[in-house]
Amino acid sequence: MKSIKLLLCLLAMLCPLIGQSQSKLKVATRVVEPFVMQDGSRLKGFSVDLWKAITDKMGVQSEFVMEPTVVGLLDAVKTHKAEVGISAISISAERDKDFDFSQPMFDSGLQIMVRDQQSGSEVGQIWDRIVASGIFRWLAVIFVIGIIPAHIVWLVEHRSDRCLLQHKKYWPGIFEAYWWSLSCLATQAEEMPKSGWGRAVAVFWMFTAVVFIAFFTAQVTASVTVEQLHGSISSADDLPGKKVATTSGSTAATYLREHHAKVTEVSTIDAAADSLENGDVDAVVFDAPVLQYFVANQGKNRFRTVGEIFQKEYYGIVFMPNSPYRKPIETALLSLKEDGTYQEIYDKWFSSKS
């Protein structure tokens, strides 16, 4: 009897808690700054503020379900892990086959982000590429190898009277012979060895020099050409064939594949920016407001956006078809637009001072 009473007491204590957690609307989201941002254990951002205003208007409580990618977010809604999804979700015809969307909650579109190369002039950039191509290592190697023909020439020449060298002793003689060896390399030698062996070495060394000069010229030309190719992304027309990073499953990834870019899909914009900084990709393509925010904050002086917004998109709140939540959420969103709350939230996150 006592234990039944205890059980009833326990149930009475738990019931409100169970009731409360059941009444909480589950909303799937993912971090896409400045729409959803993690601030310790709290979330903030445009979409977070808008969602709070919507739920306040509806008088309901909700809890966020965090997902790592937009595909994960949509799956959470599809598998009923969450009733609603909000973040920076683009409304697309493809997604509309499986989901319902609210009225557009934000005007967006795609844009391109590249490395900020303002720091150097064009000549400076070409120079950097020549240095990066490793050509100076080869130059160092050939300068060291040049010591060998210098020695052979000194050995075979220094004994005879009619010879290339004015100094017969080792150190001054070898310096003279090395000067000859380097002049040959630049095809500028004024005099040639006089002995038979000396001439044989000269022919071999001159041939090596011609091959090296051809190789050197090819490397420098390639560096300049690559710079022109890499540096030429300034609009969406330049994207086909280029290596571009974006987030997995995004509408940007679909656009890039359709336009024959070589797409690298990563989970965050930070990871995409890292690939861009390392030179693994030539550009990042993603939602314009996200890139503009990134360029003004974490990516300041390292990245910049180029070109116009080239693919208009709208963000929406996502539901399963025939969701009972759609109508009240839609009504709340419309009244927030009418009473100025939407504008306040917009200004908080996107006014020029932020």
- Closest approach of ligand GLU to the CB of residue 332, in Å: 22
- Closest approach of ligand GLU to the CB of residue 234, in Å: 23
Name the residue nearer to ligand GLU (CB basis): 205 or 255.
255
Exposed / middle / buried, residue 77 (Cβ in 10 Å: 0-12, 13-18, 19+): buried
> Looking only at residues 198 through 227 of this chain, which bind ligand GLU when binding is defined by CB under 6 A?
none
Which tokens in the block code for residue 176?
């003279």
Name the residue nearer to ligand GLU (CB basis): 223 or 246.
246
Size of the site for ligand GLU (CB under 6 A): 11
Q: Return d(Cα 131, Cα 125) in angstroms, integer.
A: 10
| 347: Cα separation from own chain's centroid | 28
Of 12-20, 44-52, 214-222, 244-252, the segment contacting ligand GLU by CB under 6 A is 244-252
- Closest approach of ligand GLU to the CB of residue 73, in Å: 7
Name the residue nearer to ligand GLU (CB basis): 114 or 318.
318
Of 138-146, 153-161, 208-216, 247-255, the segment contacting ligand GLU by CB under 6 A is 247-255
Among 54, 65, 84, 89, interactor with ligand GLU by CB under 6 A: 89
> What is the secondary structure of 203-241 as a DSSP string?
HHHHHHHHHHHHHHHHHHHHHHHHHHHHTT--SGGG-TT
Residue 244 binding ligand GLU, by CB under 6 A: no
Name the residue nearer to ligand GLU (CB basis): 89 or 281.
89
Residue 242 binding ligand GLU, by CB under 6 A: no
> Looking only at residues 286 through 305 of this chain, which bind ligand GLU when binding is defined by CB under 6 A?
287
Residue 266 binding ligand GLU, by CB under 6 A: no
Name beta bridge partners: 230.
none
- Closest approach of ligand GLU to the CB of residue 188, in Å: 59
Residue 250 binding ligand GLU, by CB under 6 A: yes
Q: Return d(Cα 245, Cα 283) in angstroms, integer.
A: 7
- HSE-CB at 71 with a 13 A cutoff on CA atoms is 12
Q: Which amino acid is at 132?
A: A
- Closest approach of ligand GLU to the CB of residue 111, in Å: 12
Answer whether 27's CB lies under 8 Å from 86's CB. yes
Residue 317 binding ligand GLU, by CB under 6 A: no
CA angle (64 as vertex; 61, 65 as ends), nearest 5: 135
What are the backbone angles phi and psi of residue 100, rounded to the nearest 5°? -110, 145
Answer whether 99's CB lies under 8 Å from 88's CB. no
Answer whether 259's CB lies under 8 Å from 310's CB. no
Which tokens in the block code for residue 225?
């050409």
- Closest approach of ligand GLU to the CB of residue 139, in Å: 46
Residue 65 binding ligand GLU, by CB under 6 A: no
Among 27, 28, 32, 126, interactor with ligand GLU by CB under 6 A: 32
For residue 186, count other CB atoms closer than 10 A to its CB. 10
Name the residue nearer to ligand GLU (CB basis): 100 or 287.
287
For residue 21, count other CB atoms closer than 10 A to its CB. 11
Residue 30 binding ligand GLU, by CB under 6 A: yes
> What is the secondary structure of 159-176 as a DSSP string?
TSSSSS-S--SHHHHHHH
Residue 88 binding ligand GLU, by CB under 6 A: yes
Name the H helices within 231-312. 251-258, 269-277, 288-296
- What is the SS3 assignment for 181? helix
Q: Return d(Cα 77, Cα 73) in angstroms, integer.
A: 7
- Closest approach of ligand GLU to the CB of residue 237, in Å: 22
Residue nearest to ligand GLU (CB): 247
Of 145-153, 246-254, 302-310, 338-346, the segment contacting ligand GLU by CB under 6 A is 246-254
- Closest approach of ligand GLU to the CB of residue 263, in Å: 13
Name the residue nearer to ligand GLU (CB basis): 202 or 318.
318
Binding site for ligand GLU (CB under 6 A): 30, 32, 70, 87-90, 247, 250-251, 287
